[in-house]
Structure 1
């Protein structure tokens, strides 16, 4: 059976985790690192190793004797918890805002936190957002968690007005996806990408 330390060194790669809304990234990172460390601490302890010592006697001409004793280095009563949350290397790739929820991609370990994260940043993958709003309310922090500071009637809002706003948002999102995909607007490559919208989503 592999030792816990060897299994911990194999923890390299990418992790996709759901992030709930209203949670800070630093707090989310700390909770995730503690959870990983606690799960590794629950694994079976390492088997006790035998340490060999050579006992020499200066006043005796006999050959030195060899003694064996139990090595208590890996004993949990000596070292306490083997893994702490500071031992877990996590790199949040393009972290979500505190108020957002969704799948968060995380690089784990030295390889995942640096090599894989850099590769994903270089490829510039497009992202998809879903927005939820409420008509007639304004909050102190522009989020649903803030206190309502203004109420307004919204009967004047009609379907054509909403369609115009949505069309404007779609245009801005399409332009942003072009820039994020590394395409120059008003170029042939951009035209070919826009003629096939599946390339950008």
Structure 2
């Protein structure tokens, strides 16, 4: 039994998790996702309304057909109802009718997990965005070169030595930077770090800053070092692409060298990971419906994503 396009259209509401490639904008990916959904739905609707049928042509010559009555020709040949032909009525599902909004915005050079809300799911995407869950990134950097943009596509403005840098130096620096951010986490909430309240909050776990414009790093470690290349894993909140590339530059300066960023990948957005993300080649109606079901189950298991009632992160 073929699925009904109207039933699928009504079922397209919720959160869909996709993979964003680097050097692509979120707006263009949104348009591509909408276009793929509407195209698949329209093609399915055409197959249901206008099935392919073979016409039985008249055996006579063209001259004989011209002398026959039109009514006779119509009765002798099987014809289709052109009133429902796709070239006459056009596509049933239009791109402007499908509401889609993103929950997390990734920059041009950032790849990884991207969350979209479809139709009624746009409200869930809005709640996730306003509740500001933590995100995890894998950031690649290179010591020895500094660029004017902080990224690999920028103009090289400085060169420096890096051969004396060891992973132990990086780990020590990252530990001190993480401690400084944890202190700033309490200060941004107006809590004295030496008070009992700060202790009670620390027991519950990391806390969310009041100001949504202040980036806070909750975890920072070097997961790979092959000099001069290195890879950092960052767990943070309120960040953006520019902040993460600046972080690589800052690490290079504090190690008495220079560094620039070569790649940024979002590997987790709250409970959504790369395992849940659909690659662009899989953006078809069938996979999107399956992904909606998985995302709905994740939201049901993690209700705090859309209904946050505590300043602690969960």
TM-score by length of 1: 0.69
Q: In the alignment, which residue of structure 1 is the partner of 2:36?
A: 35
Counterpart of 2:203 (choices 180, 183, 192) is: 192
Q: In the alignment, which residue of structure 2 is the partner of 1:107?
A: 117
Identify if the C-alpha distance between structure 1 residues 89 and 171 changes in structure 2 by more than 3 Å, giving closer, same or farther: farther
1:107 and 1:117 in contact (8 A); partners too: yes
Secondary structure (helix, strand or coil) at the match of 2:110 reads: coil
**RMSD (Å), alpha carbons:** 3.4
Q: Distance in 1 between matches of 2:14 and 2:191?
A: 33
Aligned residues between the structures: 174
1:92 and 1:107 in contact (8 A); partners too: yes
Secondary structure (helix, strand or coil) at the match of 2:44 reads: coil
Q: Distance in 2 between matches of 1:177 and 1:18?
A: 30
Unaligned runs of 5+ in 1: 49-69
Q: In the alignment, which residue of structure 2 is the partner of 1:14?
A: 15
Unaligned runs of 5+ in 2: 51-80, 207-217, 219-311
Q: In the alignment, which residue of structure 2 is the partner of 1:60?
A: none
Q: In the alignment, which residue of structure 1 is the partner of 2:49?
A: 47
Moved more, 125-134 or 165-174: 165-174
Deviations 1:153-199 (A, max 9, x none): 2234344542333124423554677799x89573233220349x9x8
Q: In the alignment, which residue of structure 1 is the partner of 2:102?
A: 92
Within a 5 Å distance, the mapping from 1:142-161 to structure 2 comes to 142-161=150-169
Q: Distance in 1 between matches of 2:32 and 2:40?
A: 12
Q: Distance in 2 between matches of 1:126 and 1:178?
A: 16
Identify if the C-alpha distance between structure 1 residues 81 and 100 changes in structure 2 by more than 3 Å, giving closer, same or farther: same
- Residue 89 of structure 1: CA displacement? 1.6
TM-score by length of 2: 0.47
Q: Does 1:26 align with 2:27?
A: yes
Q: Distance in 1 between matches of 2:187 and 2:92?
A: 46
